């Protein structure tokens, strides 16, 4: 991630930003998984490739709407990317808002191409048949490999950017740990894997693919647990004020216990609750991913630490 200026004032972020972070994390995670599945997964990964192409663009579209709606002057959203006086594009790599706006735009463009390609692939004849070259172009050869690598890169950048944006402030808790970018990214990958388990398991009878997704999700959740632990360690003396607050309790109960430990147990004991086991595990993991962003976004704005509360 490039260096960024710190936001000096309390951002006053509300539920729209929490949902934006959550949906954007899933979109980034899906794109990252899509690139891996396309490059290394083989023919068996076709159901995964289909869903990872269909999911990101709609989620990014909703994220863009939420981001614009949250602005003080939504009608001037284009000022983040275009210079008001000259009309030339504006890119400030040190500004989290400018950097993130361009990242969202480019990532949305890649996701749109991937989305359109799978729609064309699903409807071979008629009008869509004229564009049958697009799916072949982005899934094979040098251009296809390049496209999938770009999806992975921008999926990672966008997934980690949301955490980096939070950290690029002077707010307590947010600015006291360097792990938020990594935490938001791996949480987005885990949430994306959980969503894929629900969708692929619902439409596919290939249990081996679902098992591979569950195995990948286990590793992602274990890594997320480790990063949460490191995040708390790096908070140092302010970890306890955070954990005893309702937002810290939300993180421990909603994310760590219900969103990570219980799904891990259910994955390791797939017969525990019969057919409902994988569905419950994936659903809890998604709830845990949302709880993570909710607790951290609101904690940095509402928990006073040593007089550093900005608002």
156-183 pLDDT, tens digit each: 999 998 888 887 777 888 888 889 999 9
Other CB atoms within 10 A of residue 264 CB: 17
| Statement: the pTM of the whole predicted model exceeds 0.95 | no
Domains of the chain: which residue ranges?
15-302
**String of b and e for 109-131 (b: at least 16 CB within 10 Å)?**
ebbebbbbbbebbeeeeeeeeee
* CATH no. of 15-302: 1.20.1630.10
**CA dist., res. 308 & res. 311, Å (int):** 9
Backbone angles phi, psi at 21, to 5 degrees: -65, -40
- pLDDT band of 1, cuts 50, 70, 90: very low
Structure tokens given for 73: 């002057």
- What's the alpha-carbon Rg for the chain, to the nearest Å? 20
Alpha helices in the chain (DSSP H): 15-40, 46-54, 56-70, 96-122, 133-138, 141-167, 180-203, 207-235, 239-243, 246-250, 262-268, 276-302
210-238 pLDDT, tens digit each: 889 999 999 999 999 999 999 999 998 89
83-112 pLDDT, tens digit each: 666 666 666 665 666 677 788 889 999 999
């Amino acid at each position: 991630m490039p260096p960024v200026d710190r936001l000096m004032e309390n951002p006053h972020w509300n539920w729209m930003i929490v949902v934006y972070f959550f949906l954007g994390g899933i979109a980034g995670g899906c794109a990252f998984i899509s690139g891996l599945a396309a490059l290394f997964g083989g023919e068996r990964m076709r159901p995964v490739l289909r869903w990872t192409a269909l999911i990101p663009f709609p989620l990014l579209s909703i994220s863009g709407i939420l981001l614009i709606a949250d602005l003080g002057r939504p009608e001037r959203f284009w000022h983040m990317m275009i210079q008001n006086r000259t009309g030339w594009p504006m890119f400030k790599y040190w500004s989290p808002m400018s950097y993130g706006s361009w990242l969202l735009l480019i990532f949305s463009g890649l996701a749109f191409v991937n989305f359109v390609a799978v729609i064309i692939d699903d409807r071979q004849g008629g009008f869509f048949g004229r564009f049958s070259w697009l799916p072949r172009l982005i899934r094979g050869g040098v251009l296809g490999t390049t496209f999938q690598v770009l999806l992975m890169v921008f999926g990672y950048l966008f997934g980690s950017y949301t955490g980096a944006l939070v950290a690029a402030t002077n707010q307590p808790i947010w600015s006291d740990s360097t792990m938020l970018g990594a935490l938001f990214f791996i949480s987005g990958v885990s949430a994306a894997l959980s969503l894929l388990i629900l969708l692929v398991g619902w439409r596919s009878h290939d249990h081996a693919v679902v098992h591979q997704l569950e195995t990948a999700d286990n590793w992602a959740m274990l890594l997320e647990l480790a990063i949460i632990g490191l995040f708390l360690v790096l908070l140092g003396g302010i970890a306890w004020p955070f954990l005893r607050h309702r937002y810290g309790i939300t993180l421990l109960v909603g994310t760590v216990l219900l969103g990570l430990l219980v799904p891990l147990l259910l994955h390791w004991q797939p017969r525990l609750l019969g057919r409902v086991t994988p569905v419950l595990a994936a659903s809890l993991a998604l709830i845990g991913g949302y709880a993570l962003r909710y607790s951290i976004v609101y904690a940095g704005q509402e928990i006073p630490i040593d007089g550093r509360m900005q608002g």
